[in-house]
Amino acid sequence: MAQIFDAPSKALLRSQIAEHIAETDKTDKTQQRAGEAPLTAERFFDRELSWLKFNKRVLELAEDKDQPLLERANFAAIFASNLEEFFMVRVAGLKRRIDSGIAVTAASGLSPRQQLRAISEEAHQLQAEHAHEVIDEILPALAKEHIVLLSWDKLNTSEQERLSRYYRQLVFPVLTPLAVDPAHPFPYISGGSLNLAVLVENPSSGKSHFARVKIPDNLNRLLPVADMTDEGGSKERYGFIPLENLIIAHLESLFPGMIIKEARSFRVTRNEDIDVEEDDAENLLNAMEKELLRRRFGPPIRLEISDTTSPFLSQLLAGRLRVSEEEVYRIPAPLDMTVLFELQSIDRPDLKYRPFIPITNRQIAEVESSRAQDIFAAIRNHDILLHHPYDSFSTSVQAFLAQAAADPKVLAIKQTLYRTSSNSPIIDALVDAAHAGKQVLALVEIKARFDEGANIAWARKLERAGVHVVYGIVGLKTHCKLSLVVRQEDDGLRRYCHVGTGNYNPKTARLYTDLGLLTCDPVVGQDLTRLFNQLSGYAPRSSFHRLLVAPRTVRSGLIQRIEREEAAAKEGKEAWIKIKVNSIVDEKTIDALYRASQAGVHIDIVERGICALKPGIAGLSENIKVRSILGRFLEHSRIYAFANADGPQIGEGPAAGPEVWIGSADLMHRNLDRRVEALVRISDPEQIERLLNYVDLQMADSTISWHMLPDGEYVRHARDEENRPLVDSQEYLIHTHQR
C-alpha cells in the first residue's frame, strides 16, 4: 500500500492546518466590530442540550397518533439509537475533557461538568418519557392490532414446547454463563450488548453467587411465537417473545442444581469515539484498525438496568463497572428499544407509510429510448438538479457512474466516498472501470464515524482492482460529495461532474432528502479537477470559481455574503437570506447572522438537528425565524441563498437575482474547520427558483414543522386553528414529483 504523504508533505500540511486553526480561534467573545455595540455574551444555546431537544422531536413523532402505528414504533427505535450514539460520542467527549483537565467553557457559558449535569437530568427525563410511550402507548396499540409482545407465562403449553426446542437447539449451545468469584473475575461487558445479571443460591451452602449471561447478538431478538389468528379467525396475529425472556425461563439449564433468585437485564454504553494520531501514523489504515480494536474497550459512560433490579444487583453492577449513580438509568424492560426495528418486517401495510417509488428525473427520462439511457446526453442538454429520494438515485447518480464505467469514451473517473452501502453498486462501478483500463481515483474517508471498518474493507477491495485509493489530507475528514468523469468526445475532452449534499449510498438515498447537481459546465469541471488534485497529490492551493471549499473558503465565503446583505439592508434595500442545514452551531456565522438581522435582513432557517442560534430576540435576532422539519425522510440537504435589490456582487454567476449554493457543509465547527467540504453555486434561474420554493414550503406557516422559540424550546405546528392537518412537505413533494 502506498504511503499517503511523505515527511515533508506532512510538515507542510501541519503548518497549513495550524495556520487555519489559529485564524479560526481568533474569536472575541462578544464579536464587537469597530464603531458598533458588542453582542450580548449570552447569545448561544448549548449545542449538547440542543441536540437532546432534536431527539425529543423524534420522540414526539413516536407519540404522534397521526403517524402510522409501525412508523411510530420505528421512530421510538430511532430515538433509542440516536441517544446511544450521543452517549458514545458527545458525552464520552465531555468526560474525556474533564478527565484530561481540558475544562474549556462552551460558547453557551457552561463548563463540561455543568453540561454533563444538565445532559444527565434531561436524558433521564427523556428516557423515562420514551419508556412510557413504548410500554404504555405503542405496545398496547400494537396489541389492539394483533401484534403482541408476550411473556413466557402467557404462552400455552404447545407454544412453550416449541420455543423450548428452539432454545435447546439454537440458543443454549451459544450461551456462556460467566460466574464471578475469587477464581473468576468480573467479566468484560462489551458496549451495547444486552446481558442478564443473574443471582443464584447454592442450596447446599446457602451462599449467593453472581453470574453474567450475554444475550447472543447474532440471533433475532424478537422470536415469533406462532402463526396465529384472532379469536374470530379473521385476522392474522403476530406474537413475539423477547429472546432474553426465553433465556430467563430456561436458566436452570445454565445453572443446574442452583436456585435462581434473580435475573435482570442490563447493558453498558462505552466511549466509542475514535482518535487517530494521523501525523504519527505511517499507514493510516493500520492505525485505524488498531483504534477500532481499542474502541471495544472504552470506559463505561452509561449503565441501563431494568427498573425492577434489586438494590443489591444495582449496586454490584454500578460498583464493578465504576459508574456513578447519575450514570445509571433504570428503565422498564425490555431494554434497548432498537429492538423495535425488527417490527418493520411485519407485513401490515395498513400500519406503515404508503409505498413510495422514486421516479426517474424528468430531464434524464427525456433522453431514454428503447436503448439504454444516455445520461451524458441529458447532462449536455442541460444541468440537472436532482432531489432525492423523490428523484431516483439509481437512475441518476448510480446510472451516471455505471455508464461511465462501461463507456469506452470515458478515460478517467474520480470519486469521493464517505459512506456507502453493503454490496455497493458505486464500488462495483469503480471496480468495473478499473478493470476496463480507465484511470480511477477513489478518495475513501476511512474516518467516517462507525463506518470505519466498512470503509477500510472498501479501500482494500478497490486497491486490489487497480483503483488508485487515497485517504485525503492529514488532519481533515473528506466529507465533500464529488464525482468527476473525463470523457473523450468529438470536440475534445469534456468533464462531467456531480456535486451533492448526500452520500453515494443507494440505501440511504431512499431515506434521506438530498440534492445533487449533474453538470458538464467547464468551470465546475475545472474546479473539481483542481480540488481532486489537491486531495490526491501535492497541488498548490487553488482558487475556485463556482465552488466554496472548506476549511478555507466556506465560512469566509458565506460570511462575506451575509455581510453583503447586511450592507444592503443598511442602505434601505430589501435583503433576505434563506438557509437549510442539518445543524447550525458556528459562532462566527451566527454572529454574522445576528448583525444582518439587526440591520433589517429577513432570515429564514430550516434546520433538522442542533441550533445554537437564538431567534426572535428583540434587538438581536427579531428578523430571524427558525423551523425544524422531521418526518418520513431524514432531511439532509444544505441550501444557502442570498439576495437583495441589487443582486449578487461577489464572484462569478448571474448578474442579478438570488445567489444559491448547495453542498455538503453544515454550519458546524467540524464542517468548517476540520473537514473538506464543497458547496457549488447554482446558475440556472429555474433551478434557483425550485430551491427557493423548497425552502419557502418548509418555512410556511401552513406546513407541519416545529417552530423554535427565543428560549430554545420547539413547538410543533401540525394542525390549524380548526384542527385540520397542515401540509406535510415531504408528502407534498412525493405527490408533485409523481404527477
Binding-site residue numbers are 82, 419, 449, 512, 608, 636
Q: Which residue's entry shows cell 444495582?
A: 314
Q: Which residue in 20, 130, 388, 479 is the catalytic one? A: 479
Query: Which of these, 471, 472, 492, lies nearest to 411 by C-alpha position?
Result: 492
Convert 654-719 into a string of H (helix), E (strand) and C (coil): CCCCCEEEEECCCECHHHHHCEEEEEEEECCHHHHHHHHHHHHHHHCCCECEEEECCCCCEEEECE
Convert 551-615 into a string of H (helix), E (strand) and C (coil): CCCHHHHHHHHHHHHHHHHHCCCCEEEEEEECCECCHHHHHHHHHHHHHCCEEEEEECCCECECC
Known catalytic residue at 479 = yes
Supply φ then ψ for residue 492, to 5 degrees: 120, -170
- Return d(Cα 667, Cα 579) in angstroms, integer: 10
Q: Is the dihedral of CA 165, 167, 172, 178 positive or negative?
A: negative
Q: Would you give the DSSP letter of residue 424?
A: -
- Return d(Cα 689, Cα 551) in angstroms, integer: 29
Q: Is the dihedral of CA 722, 724, 728, 729 positive or negative?
A: negative
Q: Is the dihedral of CA 332, 337, 339, 342 positive or negative?
A: positive
Q: Would you give the DSSP letter of residue 92?
A: H
Distance of CA 661 to the CA centre of its chain: 21
Q: Residues forming the annotated binding site for Mg(2+)?
A: 419, 449
Provide the 10 A C-beta neighbour count for residue 379.
23
Q: Is the dihedral of CA 184, 188, 193, 198 positive or negative?
A: positive
Q: Which residue's entry shows cell 456531480?
A: 498
Exposed / middle / buried, residue 621 (Cβ in 10 Å: 0-12, 13-18, 19+): buried
Q: Which residue's entry shows cell 432557517?
A: 605
Structure-block grid coordinates of residue 527: 474546479
Supply φ then ψ for residue 385, to 5 degrees: -95, 120
Q: Following CA atoms 256, 257, 262, 265 in sequence, which dihedral angle do they give, to the nearest 10 degrees?
A: -10
The residues annotated with a catalytic role in the active site are: 479
